[in-house]
Each structure stands twice: as structure tokens, then as C-alpha cells.
Structure 1
């Protein structure tokens, strides 16, 4: 960036001054010099992309000295059109020397920048790059902000795309669609007031708020994602323009309030989409959210839980093990059986060929005992090196913990990383050929993904088959804020195959024993209303326990300010009555030991 003040014009060489004066600036359709709204246009793409613009006027509204360095400036007058933004970002590449309130003239090249690359499906940011900036004056009033609130944000989220699904070329209709509203304000000064926190603050100095707090509220104060047509348009991410070294970002839990005024330019990025780059940040008021605890199982009840422990390995600090153990003992009331997801090998992410996880599990079991819980026994199957996806080198897998004082594990040897377990009849009961054993581990459905592990348990003389799962992630899916609407869910294809595989296994069980007790649980990485869940429950051999809860309680994960179901527990028809609980201990809190909430099922086999 080249910055100069009008007082410095005399220092220009004669040649440079002549060049400046003879340049032909791009003009608006009416022949006047270009203004910011001309550059932004009335669609998502600038009509001047790739062209040089000269002496574009405006007031600086925000400065970013980290990451994608630059500043926003805005025309204080505007053209009166709701579809054309009056603000735009200037990419400088280094820390800008301008300040909010500076009146500037900007010369540079207009472009559309796609965070994550154009193939990622994200929208673009209109910007001016390679700038020469003239500061005309300083200390000017910043253009009045547009207030985002429940009355200003449309209830419809996005227009439907054209023949290719794209919405970039569509005329913006900001009064009808939330994504159009946000795009029409891209680069402009906006504000929110007393906004409810819908997603906790993170290590990346961000939080999600909602300006429509009555929209699909959860019991914890969040916003629930309950269907593909319930995107919750009032969600908005908030980041601070003040570097963390100068002012720490406030900690906030879901249900808190970002009180007062939060104001700054509206921007867009790959992770989260539109966000408010706060020049002025409100204060966080505690909403009183507390971590939940479930009740203890009764003597004749079997308690089966699932918990994604987020890449656990022996190298994690003692506090993580202690907090996970406290959650198992106190929040989950020491379940009889626990299916754990994301147990890593003994050397964690170090890619050294190690696949055993006995040290990882033993360290967690010891922490449970130290927290006052039972000394769990465990079963699992080591994967082949680098064949189960997840963090490179970590060899994550599913593992069973069980309380031997209450539950017996039926060991049937022979199961390994590539040998499938089958269902056979023994004395009128459905049993496994290998326990623990993997389900169809060599099938294409499980390529580069965690394989489900099945275990045969005995409780008070009854056989219970439990299947621990961690389905393929949503990586590669287009975001809700994608420039393609509706966004594609390409990762769903593999989960559908995985669901079909598990569903076929359960069908084999109930063919042998119609009233068999089967629990399928874990990180399904998909919603209770998804095609994945429909495939899992095909033929009514399984039903998802989440539907037993009120809608406001149905969530195990918070993503982009949406509280949603990713972890599920499903039961066979033989389990007619049960008590199910999602124990909200992590996902809504800034201080979390895992990004998933655990869940527990209690029933009498």
C-alpha cells in the first residue's frame, strides 16, 4: 500500500504528477467518478472486477492489522439502493497506516477473493488490492451503522441457485433473504445490540450471536438446527479488530449476552461466512449456564453411554484426563458401558507405526478411579496403521469401557482390524462370532474411516449387543453460506454406505432374535433428520432415541452458532422402554474438554 496525504503532493516528481493527471479513471454509468456502490454492484460480483479504479472516496470504518491486513472504507452518502453496499475492503498486505475516521481516496484494482479457493464453494469478498491511498482529512464521523436485529433480518435464509446451483449472478433481494441482506452490507458499518450468544467463544477469538433469539431456541440459550430449511438466519459471528496482545477476547458461553453495542464492518471469510469485525465490542453478561449431570442408573437398569473424547492420547495434559474422568463419574454417573470415540494410539499424532492404545485407555481408567469411579475394564481392536482416518499418525478408534462389577463382557476371540464379526444363534439368542469384532471392516464404506466395533455383553443374565460408531466427517461439504444454494453434502455419500452396513448388521441380529437388545451409538456425524439416519433406521430395526427428548434438548454439538445433533444413540425394537439423556457439559461452553456432549441410555434388558 502507498499512503500519502494531500500536503505531500508537492513532493511528487513532475513525471509522476503528469502520469497521475493523465490517467483515465473508470467512470460510472452516469459518467460521474466511481463510488463504492458502483464497485459493489447489485449482485455478489463486482461489475468492475479486474479493472483499475481511481480516487474512490470514503471514510475508513475499520482497520485490520493481522491476518488479511487492510481496512474498510465507506461512502457516507450512498445511492439509496438497498442492494448495493456502500462499504468495501482494501487489501494492503501489510499493516495499514490509516485510522477509523480518515477520509481517503483509493486507487487500485478491483477483485473478487475466494477464501479457501474458488472450488471450495464459498462466496467471494469484493476488494481493492494494490492500493494507493490518499488521506484527505482525519477525525471525521464514521458513517452511521446499519442495525441488525430481529426486524431487519429476513426469515428466509437464501435464494435458490440457478441451473448450476449458483447464486452469484442473481440480483440481491435483501428484504427477502438473509444471505442477500448480509451481502448487500458487505464492507459496510453495522452493529448489533444486546445480542444473545449462540455459540461459545473459541481459541480463535470469535463467538456466535443471534439477533433473533426467539428463533428455534434451545434449553441452554442457543439456536437449534432442526432441519435443512432451518438455517437460522439471525446467526452472526463476531470477531474483534483489536489484536489479542492488546486486549484479550472475552470468554462467553452459549446463553450469555453480548451486551451494549458491538459495531464494525461486516466481512466474510471461509469459516463461518459473514461476520462482524468489531471496532467496538460489547461486554459479556453471564447467562448462568451450568453443566448438566444425569441421574444414576437404578440397580436393574443398564446404563450405556457414548463420548467423543476428541483425539485423546497419553501426551495430553493431566487436566484433560482428569476432566474427562470427572465427566464420566459425576456428569454421567459412572455408566455401566461407555463407547469412546477418538481414542488415539500410545504416541498420539506421531506417525511412527504404533497402533496400540493400551496406554491411552489405561491413563483414562486410572483417572476415573482417582475421581471416585469404578475401575473400568476395556475392549477394543487396534486398527491398521493409517487406515482409519482422523488426525495423521493418531490411528483413532472406538473403544468400550465397562464396569466389571455390573457387566460381563463375552469374549469371543478372532476379531482383528480386517476380520468381520458375524451373527450366529446360540441357544435361541443372537450372538457374535467375534467379540469384540468389527463390522464389515474391508468394505468400501469404511475406507479411510473408523470402523464400527461390536461387543457382546451380559447384564443380569441378558445378552446385549452394543455397536460403537464414528462415521465419516462432513469434510468437503459446502457450507450453509455457500454461493451454491442449496449447498451440496458430498460427504453424505460415504455415511449412507456406512449406515447401510450397520443397518444390515442389525437386521442380521433381529432375524436371529426378533427381540434382541441392540444399542447402536456414537458420533454419527449426521443429523437426526438426515438421510444417514433414515438409512440407519431402515426397516424399523432401529430408532433414534433423540426423538424421545423435547426439541429444545436435541443437540450434542454447536457449529457456526447452530446447536445440532451429531452424536446419536439408536435402539432395536426389543428395547421398548428407555430413559435417554444428552448431558450438556461441553459444546455450549468456552471452557470445554471435548467439542461433543456425551449421552447416556438407561433401560432394563
Structure 2
């Protein structure tokens, strides 16, 4: 239309914003705000629809949101330069993304500070470089501001436009001024249409409009044929287009020939002048990788022609095995590749993709993890093609040697995900961890495998927190220094442990899963439980909560809910021990504090002492009364079931006898008044640490022998506690409770003798010094207690073959009694390996009298999240977290198993003929000599020993069936009696007399001719009460 001065419409401008045709003829001919989709950048295209050159210096492009309150001046201003000839185009590149095709060379790089809407907005071509402080909607432009607007395009739901708004666009469409930029009817709705983005720059063919922007004649055909990319082996298609401002483009034909695998597809002629004609190209899956130049000729209904050429780049697929390579890192790390495979497993931040055929090379993995950062938009069983950047991901800290050496090969920034089909699967590869070489799982990274079983659960500490369990082939994994002295052999075992181990994960990086995976009967999964086999994908990552800690290969099951363990290591309700007349135990009570971290307390006062300073931050146990009530219920259940005569306690609050006294009161409430008493605090003190060792005992069975002792030497941060005891039979023994320096909190200097040596942990030299000091202290204990019978127990923070234990036992004066009964016993599980930190030693004098020594496996094998703590659990109104499986049972009362030891401290009495023989109030062994005697055993559990019939005629006045025992082993042997059951065979019989039961010996049994001979009489005892339990044969 005829160009009119904008200022003549001032009156209308305020009533209904109006901007008329461009006075200069320069118009906005194309807009695209979908950068990152078809093209990488947003852009504005200008066109000189006039008949004279126009100098753009001092002009600018400005943007405002469709309906917002922001002005044009609030957004980035793009200033223009240069002179635009009649019919020439001008391309302004704006904000750029990493995705999409690059624009043709722009004539100016515009502002990147504004995110243009891909659908709705307002754009002006302004004859000023100053931002206009209006937006035409909520802030109406003044006449002076309108006079600065050379052209305006409002699109979508914009509230400022010429006539009516142009249509909305999208990430895949651009806004085109019709007639190749020549139409300017003063109405955006009429002048613009949408289509595939086709940016033109100053080098593009000129399109003359024949005058001042109101239309033109004999305009040229303008092709749009951008370069195209495709992937070999995959059928696809693409489209190019052409327009003519005053004619219809009606045909297209190939210039030259097409490569094999490329054919012309459907053609769509332009419907009206100025609209686009399109030509489709179809690519078959036989098209070879390479670069091809294609040419196309266009015809219109004015007998005009135009041509275009463009490049078709066909990339070859990179097979997944070629991406993985044979080493731990990809040989093409950092490159962007296109590959395909079957989706085998989804996780919350990506998915696993596997080549279902593979390359036949057992040293290269056929699968890879695709990192999407958010929930993936693919489905299991889909066969897909995608592009991504090959990346090596370190799952730990930068300084973590394990994770740095075992980076996970991934595809990141995935794009172009194309579904090629569905319903596919891959066949799992069977893998045997028992025979796989070190790092052998690298060749299966990301692949679906079936691990051959049985596999044994090792560490379940992180089961509730992260859904992880450590497994191993070949049975339980033992801490190397629990079975071998530190050195090359132990290091080799450490490596072999890792070789045959794997971490069972739950396929999610979410914390505190609910429901908790892999839980079985009694809401537990115990270390030592087994599974026959498991199918999943191989991964690698941290096995602890520390990003500098242990890392290992993982398996992510295809079906987490279907993983079920066999309870091959069942719970045992009480220690399975018998014999002896004294039971001694040690128990780490897991920071048992009666003062809480929240400032509350049930005994003592608020705050806890450490190094002489008192603060709630020094309290290490329960956070509050609720947690404490749960803790003490488990602790009382544990100690009640141990039912020991003496118990050494570790990790109890160091506040005199206050906390240990509270514990004893709770025990007595459960077991009966007076069952236990506290060994008093020693005069030498209990150290300055926040925790101490303590001791409790049964006063109804034992008497304290001398004062309690401790060793305040500076080497002992938690001084040992010793106490002597006397049995009713007069036998004596002493107990020393210990808690050596822990393996954690390493000193800072690498050359420090207490630094981590790779096997024995930190502070090993300190623990050796503590062991040597303990041996010196032992002399004081013996002299004070008046006995060489000493038990040393507690948490020594050293495994069975480490230097501190060797220092204690190497000279033979102290004997490792637990090892004597079971060298593979354990009390603690750390980093998936079982070992014994909690020991039971005896002096050489006492060792022959120890009848059992073992750990009761109620804690170390149990998952930590069944303990008393309430954090990270669904508890107290919290609706998130792992399930709360706490019960008032002994299981997971602590993280260490208790140790229990039995002593046989019997009083031996020789009974000769003549005067009556009387035993002690305690447990006696009364050996009957020649001749008849009257014997009174006294209290306790007595044993009456007979070696020959020369002792016949004895009368036992107080035999207690079921408690006392007749020991006839040597007597029967002297007569040649070898029957497995002398009662059944009639070699030993019972007959009734007026005074009580008479025990008879028949040398040839019930079937022989010899008559039974009386051995002894049990006064006031009936034969019916004399059962097999009354004898030892």
C-alpha cells in the first residue's frame, strides 16, 4: 500500500495502537524464536522492499513479551550497521543454543541477553539505538516513540501489532512475510504466515518488490535448501522448499543424479503466490555413510526457474562395543557419536542401552549407560537410535584412586532419540565371580548379565539408606588381617576379596527407599544369607557414604522386587554355648548415653564431658528421650539374653557410675531385683574421653575380690578397668575390660607412624603401645586379685592377626581363646568384610579352664536401619524415609557382636575313707577314693567322680538330680564297659532302698550272668529322678 507518515496517526495511536507500513521500505520479513530446535539460534530477517538503498546505522531491533509489563528498553538491544540495497535481505542472529543447525552467516550478531518466546511476542525495527520505554500494551507508546518505530510485528497473543496479530509460531516454525517479504498491508495477520524456518542473509538472492514495499512484480523464485544430516542404516526423510512472491512454484526436479539410497519423494506445489512449495527426499537404510551434494531445479507458473544445491551428510553408526573399547576408558572419549541398541533398564537419571548382537569380542562391553539427568523418556524393550557425547564419569571424588581408575563410560547430552521398534530383549551373559579375573567386570560394564550363585550377602549397612547390599561368590569375605599377618599375603587377599565381590544396588540414586529392597522374614536381610543367582546390568560406584571411600562394581537388578534371599544365616535367640560354671561376656553398647544431644537427660545432667569440657555436642548417643527408650529396650534385651555372670561394657557415657547404674537398674527391672550390680568406678579414674569402659556382675554368684583398678597412663585415652572376683567354692579370677584407640580420624601427616598403612588402619602404632602397656598392667591386676586367672576382653580395635594382638599373644602368656575355638569367628563387618575387633583372651594359667569362647552374631550381620535411631525413617509424623523396622529385641542393639566366654572354675576335693567329706557352697569336683564314705557336696553344681569299684559304699547326702553329676567315665573303662548307653544296656542301674536310690554297676550288663554290685547311695532321692542327665559316662 502507499507509505504514509506514521505521525499522521497520532490520534489513533492512543485509542488502538497502530503502526503503518515501513516508510523506508525496510521491513521485518522473517522471525524465529525457537532457537535450539530446528536452528540453534533465534533470528530476525529484514528485507528492503523499497526501491532505494537504506542505511541501517543508528537503527536497532527491540523485543518485548506478548502481554507482559516489560518495555522494549528492558530487554537486550541489537544495533544494526551497513546499507541494505533494494531487494536485499539482512540476517540478525540472536541468542544461541548448543542444539540445532547453525544459521547461515549472519550480517550482525545481536543481543543474547533476552530469551525470545518461540510462540508469542512483539518485535520492532526502531530508528534509534535507545530502548523505547513502552510496550504498546500496559505501557502505551507516545507519539514520539511511535515515530521511532519503522516496522512492528506482534504475533500470537501479542497486545501490540499492526492491524491484527500475526499467527503464533513454535520451535519448529518461523513467521514469514508473504510474497518473499514484499507484502506490507499494514496488518500483521494478513501479511504473515508460518512455515519451516529458512533464514536469508545479505548474500541470498535479491527479491525485488518493484517499489515501495506495497507489492512487486516478476519476483524471482527463492529456494530454501539447507544442508541436511542423516544416519546410515536408518530410513528417514527430509523436505526442502521454495517460494515466489508473485507466482506459484509448481515443480521440482533433480539436477544430475541421486546417490544410491536417495529417491525423490512427494512434491507439494505452492497453493497461492508467495506460499511455499515443498519437495521430500526419502533415504533408505542402504544409504552409505558419506557426504553428498544434491541439486534441485524449481519451476513456477511464470516460466521462471531457480536452482539450489545443498550437502547431505550421512554419519555412520558407531557400535556400542566400539564406544566402550577394550580398556577402562573409551578410545573416543569426548567425541559425539550416533549409536543404537535396546533399552534394558531404566533408572531415575538415565537408562542402559545394549547392542543385542555385540561384536563377539569378550573384552569389550556391548552396552552403555545413557545419562539423561532426569527421568528418561524411553521404554524398556525399545530399540532406539540416538546421538551423544562419549564421557568418562568418575563416581567418586577427584582424589579417589578407585573411582579414578574405574570411570564409567557414558553417553551424555543425548539428542535425536528415535524409536526404531519395541518388544526387543537381550540374552543375559552368565558370569561367575568365583573365577573372573581382577577387574573382569569392566568387559561387562552396562551389560545384562546373570551372576552365577550362590552369592553371599556381606555388608548390609547401607541397605536402608541407599538400597545397597554387598555380595560375594565363594562364601563370607573376611578382613585380610583377621586371618593373615599384615603383609603381601594379606594385600593379595584384600585384592581377591574385591575381585569376587559386587554391590547389589536397587537401580535408583534416591535415598531411604521405601519399601526397603531385599528385606525378608523378620524384616531383615542378614550377612551370610545367600541367593542362587541374580540378573541385572553391571555398573560401578561407591560402596560407602564417603566419596573418597571404597568403590566397586555393582549390579542393578532388572527386577528389584523379584530378588529374594535364602535365610542361610538365621538368627539365634540366645548364645549357643554350654558348660563351665562362670559365664563372662563383653558388649559394645553403641554409645549408651543418658544425656542426649537435644539437651535432655534421664540420669545425670544435660551435656557430656570430653577433655574436661561439658557440652551437648559431646553427647554421642540418642538424640532424645524417644530414641533412648528404643535404645535401652534393645540393650536390655541383649544383656538379658547373654545372662552372663560378668559383663564388660564399651561405649558407655563417662559420667562416673551414673549411666552404668541406670542401665543396671533397667536390667534388674527386667530380670529381677538384685540380679546385677555395678563394679565401682576405680580410684584411678576413667579417663577424659566422652565414653568409658564399665563392668557389671551378678552379686548373687560372685563376690568382689579387692578394689577395682584402672591404668591412667597417658597412652590410654580410655583406661582399662580391672576387677577380681571370688566364687562360692573359693576359686578366683579377674576380668580386664578394654577399648583401644579406634582406626579412624587419622593424623594429618603421611609420615606419622599412626597414619593408615593400608591394612591395619590409623593409629596402629598407638594400639601396639596400648597392648604392651596392658601386659604391664596385668601384673598389678594379678597381685591385687590374688590369682593368675585373668580374662582380658573388649573392643581392641584390631583384627585377630594385627600387630596389637600379636604384641599381646606372641610370648604365650596371653591366649586368644576365641581363635582357639573358631579362627574364623567375627564380631564386626566393615566395607563388606567380616573380622573380629571384640576379643576374649585368657592368661596361660586360665586358658585350660576356658570351655567356650565365641561371638553371638546378633548385631554385625543385621542391617543398620533396624536400630534405635529414628532419622531417615518414616517415624513421628514423617511420611518420607525408609520403613521403621525397630523392635525391642536384641538384634542390632549395637554394630558390634557381643563375645561370650565360659570358665570351668571348679574346686577339686579328694574324698578318702574315714571322716565325712563336705564340699564348698560352690561348684566342686569331688573325687571318691578307696573305701566307703559319706559325702556332702554343698551348694553349686557338683561333680562326683568314680574311678573304680574300690570306692563302693559311698553315701551322697545332698545329690541334686539335673544339677549335680555322677562321673563314671573312668570306672566303666576300668571294667571294659564300652556301651554307648550304659543305662539302656543295663551296665548301670538304679534300685530303690529305704534311704534312697542305689546306683549299681553290672560288669556284663543285662544280658550276662553276673549280678549288679552297689556303688553308691543317693540319700532321699528316688530312682525316677535319676535320669541320663545325672550321669557322665
TM-score by length of 1: 0.71
* Partner in structure 2 of residue 239 of structure 1: 505
* Partner in structure 2 of residue 168 of structure 1: none
Q: CA deviation at 1:400?
A: 1.9
Distance 1:234 1:117 in 2: 26
Q: Map 1:443-592; keep pairs closer than 5 Å.
A: 443=715, 451-460=718-727, 462=732, 464-473=734-743, 489=758, 492-507=761-776, 509-510=778-779, 516-551=788-823, 554-577=825-848, 578-579=850-851, 580-590=853-863, 591=866, 592=892
Q: CA deviation at 1:473?
A: 2.5
Q: Select 1:186's aligned residue among 436, 441, 445.
A: 445
Distance 1:456 1:312 in 2: 22
Q: Select 2:589's aligned residue among 309, 313, 328.
A: 309
Q: Map 1:83-102; keep pairs closer than 5 Å.
A: 83-102=363-382
* Partner in structure 1 of residue 556 of structure 2: 277
SS of 2:386's equivalent in the other structure is strand
SS of 1:547's equivalent in the other structure is helix
SS of 2:457's equivalent in the other structure is strand
Distance 2:464 2:680 in 1: 34
Measured against aligned partners, the alpha-carbon deviations of 1:192-250 in whole angstroms (never above 9, x if no partner) come to 366444236532322333343xx4699xxx99974434444443321222677675413
Q: Say whether residues 1:328 and 2:639 are aligned partners.
A: yes
Q: CA deviation at 1:530?
A: 2.5
* Partner in structure 1 of residue 660 of structure 2: 361
* Partner in structure 2 of residue 597 of structure 1: 897
Distance 1:23 1:518 in 2: 84
* Partner in structure 2 of residue 58 of structure 1: 341
SS of 1:597's equivalent in the other structure is coil
Distance 2:726 2:35 in 1: 87
Measured against aligned partners, the alpha-carbon deviations of 1:348-381 in whole angstroms (never above 9, x if no partner) come to xxxxxxx527554334223322331623314455
Stretch deviating more after TM superposition (536-545 or 122-131): 122-131
* Partner in structure 1 of residue 574 of structure 2: 293
* Partner in structure 1 of residue 305 of structure 2: none
Q: Say whether residues 1:143 and 2:448 are aligned partners.
A: no
* Partner in structure 1 of residue 699 of structure 2: 404
Q: CA deviation at 1:126?
A: 1.8
Q: Select 2:677's aligned residue among 360, 370, 376.
A: 376
Q: CA deviation at 1:34?
A: 4.1
SS of 2:101's equivalent in the other structure is helix
Contact 1:115 1:270 in 2 (8 A): no
Q: CA deviation at 1:599?
A: 0.7
Q: Say whether residues 1:341 and 2:642 are aligned partners.
A: no
Q: CA deviation at 1:507?
A: 4.0
Q: CA deviation at 1:93?
A: 3.2
Contact 2:537 2:556 in 1 (8 A): yes
The structure with the larger Rg is 2
SS of 2:446's equivalent in the other structure is coil
* Partner in structure 2 of residue 482 of structure 1: none
Contact 1:301 1:604 in 2 (8 A): yes
Q: CA deviation at 1:575?
A: 1.6
Stretch deviating more after TM superposition (318-327 or 125-134): 125-134
Q: CA deviation at 1:277?
A: 1.3
Q: CA deviation at 1:498?
A: 1.3
Distance 1:598 1:508 in 2: 24
* Partner in structure 2 of residue 5 of structure 1: none
Contact 2:456 2:473 in 1 (8 A): no
SS of 2:343's equivalent in the other structure is strand
Q: Say whether residues 1:207 and 2:461 are aligned partners.
A: no
Contact 1:59 1:140 in 2 (8 A): no
* Partner in structure 2 of residue 40 of structure 1: 324
1:544–1:106 distance in 2 versus 1, CA, 3 Å: farther
Q: CA deviation at 1:408?
A: 4.4
1:453–1:78 distance in 2 versus 1, CA, 3 Å: same
Q: Say whether residues 1:70 and 2:350 are aligned partners.
A: yes
Q: CA deviation at 1:79?
A: 2.8
Distance 2:229 2:721 in 1: 73
Distance 1:490 1:112 in 2: 28
1:57–1:539 distance in 2 versus 1, CA, 3 Å: same
* Partner in structure 1 of residue 24 of structure 2: none
Contact 1:225 1:562 in 2 (8 A): no
1:503–1:604 distance in 2 versus 1, CA, 3 Å: farther
1:471–1:223 distance in 2 versus 1, CA, 3 Å: closer
Contact 1:509 1:516 in 2 (8 A): no
Contact 1:543 1:570 in 2 (8 A): yes
Distance 2:362 2:829 in 1: 32
Distance 2:531 2:659 in 1: 39
1:146–1:357 distance in 2 versus 1, CA, 3 Å: farther
Q: CA deviation at 1:465?
A: 4.6
Measured against aligned partners, the alpha-carbon deviations of 1:248-292 in whole angstroms (never above 9, x if no partner) come to 413123444435754233333243622211221322344471315
Q: Map 1:261-272; keep pairs closer than 5 Å.
A: 261-271=534-544
Contact 1:306 1:598 in 2 (8 A): yes
Distance 1:195 1:224 in 2: 25
Distance 1:408 1:492 in 2: 40
TM-score by length of 2: 0.44
Measured against aligned partners, the alpha-carbon deviations of 1:437-487 in whole angstroms (never above 9, x if no partner) come to 2453x23xx6xxx5242313232363525132243125779xxxxxxxxx9
Q: CA deviation at 1:296?
A: 7.7
Distance 1:550 1:369 in 2: 33
1:560–1:497 distance in 2 versus 1, CA, 3 Å: closer
SS of 2:439's equivalent in the other structure is helix
Q: CA deviation at 1:339?
A: 1.7
Distance 1:532 1:45 in 2: 42
1:359–1:259 distance in 2 versus 1, CA, 3 Å: farther
Contact 2:445 2:537 in 1 (8 A): no
SS of 1:492's equivalent in the other structure is coil
SS of 1:240's equivalent in the other structure is coil
Contact 1:53 1:107 in 2 (8 A): yes
Distance 2:692 2:540 in 1: 39
Distance 1:58 1:370 in 2: 66
Q: CA deviation at 1:53?
A: 2.6
- Higher RCO, Cα 8 Å, sep 6+: 1
SS of 2:360's equivalent in the other structure is coil
- Structure 2 unaligned blocks of 5 or more: 1-33, 42-98, 104-226, 232-288, 290-314, 485-489, 520-524, 545-550, 595-621, 748-755, 867-891, 906-1033
Contact 2:446 2:539 in 1 (8 A): yes
* Partner in structure 1 of residue 629 of structure 2: 318
